[in-house]
Structure 1
């Protein structure tokens, strides 16, 4: 594996600095505090061609891979601009539809999404199932060659600003299948359809994107809405879930770097007892330790992306990257806060608001315990724990 960036990848990674000249961390933070989606910044990203990084050129995208998407996310987060809509839309939904969608999806929806004219969100989590997707109860009941979708999905990022949602549903209840992974189908659901309603989930984290619960009541779906094959959705689901782990790992690494950079500036300028506080090992060592953790997590993230792009089994690296990056992000923001002392908790510094985000990513969308269980069983050969 060669992790040296080519010229195009370097430009993608450095794009965050360019974007931050107009839409900087202060812009992001203002929208995060008001829970208002940054439409102008998202449209700028669309105009610059980054919504379709993982979409083939024939469908309006750049025809690149997971590596470039991770570099984009890490590069923007390096400058304090983490965008969760880039996770659920361009990474999880658009790339998946490009690989498994119908001609209508590819020819009509993907080009519009790459231009920023429509947006996608992703729905898998249910109130009663949580991380145990096998027990999902949202059911698309067959009615001839059509389906009636009924059920509930929760913690759906950005549903209010989305036009379509990639929904993971059962077309056969888990009690009626021989293998527990059978009977899943993915649908691209138009959120304007009759029978779709949503309710905000009030999450106490400053973010531009809000969380929603989606309710489906006999929503009419047809063959044109199916992504992949009926009853065989689980086999392609990890085309979305491993990228989710990778892209969020990249986000955590970027946020960690952003926080540490602010801490270094402060520690060099702040003088106490006749010298900069950064000269004291009690300040310096936690920052250096966090920096090391972030850089190691970043390398694992790039390895996972490389494996995914090369069609290798990326589950182990994706889970290790997600676990390591979330822990490193928390450590970095915490060390940066401690270095700032009381000023780290002021609104002027804008540092404390990053902590709830990285702490969230230890728990969601896949918690660290499940990552560790995957590593223990699938990588190390320990007995299955769940």
Structure 2
């Protein structure tokens, strides 16, 4: 059993860390305060092909996999981006590139992947609905076939990045949940031309005011008879459930990688402060009350990293990884939150000052325990599928 990173992943880590190192915490705090996308960093990632790692070389990408994407995201977060890094690797590199490469037709790959690799196209993902949050089975956004188009109507919520996206990876119902047998049938995943639908007035969106992760907007999305050519189905009509899970598992793995990187970043800042701060004549880090919680946070982050890499490794090999993806997300989110909480405590009253980045990192860390799946549902999944306990929901 070899725990060394593959040379490809090690090189990715070094390359992304070099980019992250150019941008200090003042930069990330400005992006957050101004609620703007970190365009300068994104452009550097695109120029270097660091966003297109999982796109095959024949389409202009790096020819690598989810493991390398996870390492890149972790490095960007740890190198300074913190929670902002996750969306930079989820929206287009994962939701767009990974999904199209895995489930797209030959024509779809030729149309989309080179443009994603060059930075010409960006994507986002829409599954969550006001009345169907974590219970995706009950989504009601309807796509009905009308000649050579699907006509889509419905509403989505918490859709991040739609304001930037050229295409939306949209999960719809072509058979209502009440009629689907089995209930996992009747899903169809579509590639929606956002700009065209907005111009037609059939797609509108409204940003949701939120506590953190302000470098990308999250919106309510309204679909009113959006027309989507049948050629833009990902996978097969009515058989999109497997496509959907092949999006959700990488999302959880990458969210875990972001948690590991963000936790590493706040822990580094805590240790720097604990080494420098000496109000009683010696660094506060010499006190076990400060040192031990930080040491425990470090241990938790290392364990979360191992499971994150394992889950990505499995996904790249086409092997089942649902439990591993869930465990990675659960442990990384909690480890990142504990690291942020202990960093806040280490900084004392100064953590509350907006002159430091700790308050921003603290609020950004908290959401990971709720998205992309609530930790209670992860625990229920583990209890049922790994321990053989009765289903609880």
TM-score when normalising by structure 2? 0.95
Contact 1:166/1:189 (8 A) holds in 2:
yes
Q: Equivalences for 1:268-307 in 2 at 5 Å?
A: 268-307=275-314
SS at match of 1:300: helix
User: What residue number does 1:117 align with?
Assistant: 120
Q: Deviations over 1:58-104 (max 9, x none)?
A: 12211111110110011111112132131122112211111212334
User: What residue number does 2:56 align with?
Assistant: 56
Pick aligned residue for 2:236 from 209, 223, 229: 229
Pick aligned residue for 1:100 from 103, 108, 112: 103
User: What residue number does 1:26 align with?
Assistant: 26
Pick aligned residue for 1:383 from 377, 381, 390: 390
CA–CA distance in structure 1, aligned partners of residues 390 and 9 of structure 2: 40
SS at match of 1:298: helix
Structure 2: gaps (5+ residues): none
Q: Deviations over 1:261-313 (max 9, x none)?
A: 01111111111222110000011111001111111111111111111112221
Pick aligned residue for 1:186 from 180, 189, 209: 189
Contact 2:91/2:122 (8 A) holds in 1:
no
User: What residue number does 1:6 align with?
Assistant: 6
Distance 1:153 1:85, change over 3 A: farther
Pick aligned residue for 1:145 from 144, 148, 152: 148
User: What residue number does 2:353 align with?
Assistant: 346
SS at match of 1:272: coil
TM-fit CA distance, 1:8:
2.2
Pick aligned residue for 2:317 from 297, 310, 315: 310
CA–CA distance in structure 1, aligned partners of residues 368 and 338 of structure 2: 13
Contact 2:253/2:308 (8 A) holds in 1:
yes
Matched, 1:367 2:374: yes
CA–CA distance in structure 1, aligned partners of residues 60 and 26 of structure 2: 31
CA–CA distance in structure 1, aligned partners of residues 317 and 172 of structure 2: 29
SS at match of 1:4: coil
User: What residue number does 1:44 align with?
Assistant: 44
Matched, 1:173 2:176: yes
SS at match of 1:151: strand
Contact 1:85/1:157 (8 A) holds in 2:
no
TM-score when normalising by structure 1? 0.97
Matched, 1:157 2:164: no
TM-fit CA distance, 1:345:
1.9
- Total equivalences in the alignment: 386
CA–CA distance in structure 2, aligned partners of residues 117 and 361 of structure 1: 30
TM-fit CA distance, 1:347:
2.0
Contact 1:3/1:302 (8 A) holds in 2:
no
TM-fit CA distance, 1:145:
3.1
TM-fit CA distance, 1:49:
0.5
Contact 1:205/1:357 (8 A) holds in 2:
yes
User: What residue number does 2:364 align with?
Assistant: 357
TM-fit CA distance, 1:20:
2.2
CA–CA distance in structure 2, aligned partners of residues 226 and 36 of structure 1: 32
CA–CA distance in structure 2, aligned partners of residues 103 and 126 of structure 1: 31
- Greater shift in the superposed pair: 222-231 or 108-117: 108-117
- Greater shift in the superposed pair: 20-29 or 274-283: 20-29
TM-fit CA distance, 1:7:
2.5
Contact 2:149/2:229 (8 A) holds in 1:
yes
User: What residue number does 1:257 align with?
Assistant: 264
Pick aligned residue for 1:241 from 225, 238, 248: 248
TM-fit CA distance, 1:206:
4.5
Contact 1:303/1:317 (8 A) holds in 2:
yes
Contact 2:189/2:243 (8 A) holds in 1:
no
SS at match of 1:334: helix
CA–CA distance in structure 1, aligned partners of residues 6 and 372 of structure 2: 31
User: What residue number does 1:89 align with?
Assistant: 92
CA–CA distance in structure 2, aligned partners of residues 160 and 204 of structure 1: 19
User: What residue number does 2:16 align with?
Assistant: 16
Q: Deviations over 1:339-371 (max 9, x none)?
A: 111112222221110112111010012010111
* Runs of 4+, deviation exceeding 2 Å: 14-17, 20-26, 102-105
CA–CA distance in structure 2, aligned partners of residues 20 and 320 of structure 1: 28
CA–CA distance in structure 1, aligned partners of residues 221 and 121 of structure 2: 18
